[in-house]
A = this chain, B = another copy of it.
């Protein structure tokens, strides 16, 4: 193990969109790095990436690649996480996983540090980071829940193409260029044109008609807030925005609500930036909340269809709070609070 003031960190999926954000954020946040190891598929192994002025060679992500690491930030797809996260954990390395592979596993904490950092105390080597839309929506909902007690919630999302990945960013860009040139608009990533269009379909459909993304918003909200009976309905829609997801939230609470008190708890919550002055056209937009640490919350008003309800709008960076940043914030908070990174059963090995 490295000494207590700096850490040997690996990034799995270092060449992907979230991997790139992880590298940038570790540097810009001055994460105490003793070593940074870039891991990716065999196809990407050998590539050189410039990191803080130094060239680092990408290594193949295989079990032995985790030897000696303290933390592995996984930014790969679920199948890779399933195969490699247990190998990394077995080697004493704390896995912070962005994929959905372990999120609903009862033995794996699913964590947003502003909400349930305490859950990390029971980790067994793997900690999951939530779905992007869930993380962003809860930056508005959770402080209100703590104040008023949420019992029912409706989410309607407006999700950017970067949530799909770098190839989707390229597809929106190519369609935009083709439109301006008067060329034919081609599609490969999405089943429909996304430029100047909307696609009410993110992830695959389940038998109940909900998409995987919509089901994740329901199940992950319950697990993170510790509210297994919370009633949640989500509709997830892809919009022609490059970066940052937005969500309309209609929430019903146990207690009588009050807009001034809602604004107060949001202003005090570390994950949220209150931006709510409609008379002066002040509210969050995804463009303003791209590459922002906090999620913007605005349009807060008493819901007209619920007795004790609030409606509001959240915009947040899906690659940051919705992915890379949240994983890093988990590590930062565990270090700050003195929570063991090494899984308990291995701690004495």
Chain A residues within 8 Å of B, Cβ to Cβ? 152-154, 156, 158, 172, 176-177, 179-180, 191-193, 196-201, 205, 208-211, 218, 231-233, 235, 237, 239-242, 246, 248, 250, 259, 278-279, 281, 283-288, 298-306, 309, 311, 313, 315
Contacts and interface: CB of A to CB of B under 8 A. Distances in A.
Contacts of A172: 196
A248 B305 contact: no
A299 B213 CA distance: 14
B287 A197 contact: yes
Contacts of A250: 154, 233, 235, 250
Interface hub of A192, A233, A237 (most chain B Cβ within 10 A): A233
Contact of A299 (B152, B177, B209, B284): B209
Nearest to A243: B196
Contact of A205 (B158, B199, B279, B288): B279
A158 B198 contact: yes
- The DSSP consensus for interface residues of chain A is mixed
Nearest to A211: B278
Contacts of A177: 180
A197 B284 CA distance: 11
A157 to B, nearest CB: 9
A143 to B, nearest CB: 18
Contacts of A205: 278-279
Given A210-B301, A246-B200, A304-B218, A313 B279 contact: no
A62 to B, nearest CB: 36
Given A158-B239, A176-B179, 5 more contacts: A196-B242, A200-B298, A209-B299, A209-B301, A250-B250
Contacts of A304: 208, 210, 218, 231-233
B303 A233 contact: yes
Contacts of A199: 285
Nearest to A287: B197
Contact of A287 (B154, B196, B208, B231): B196
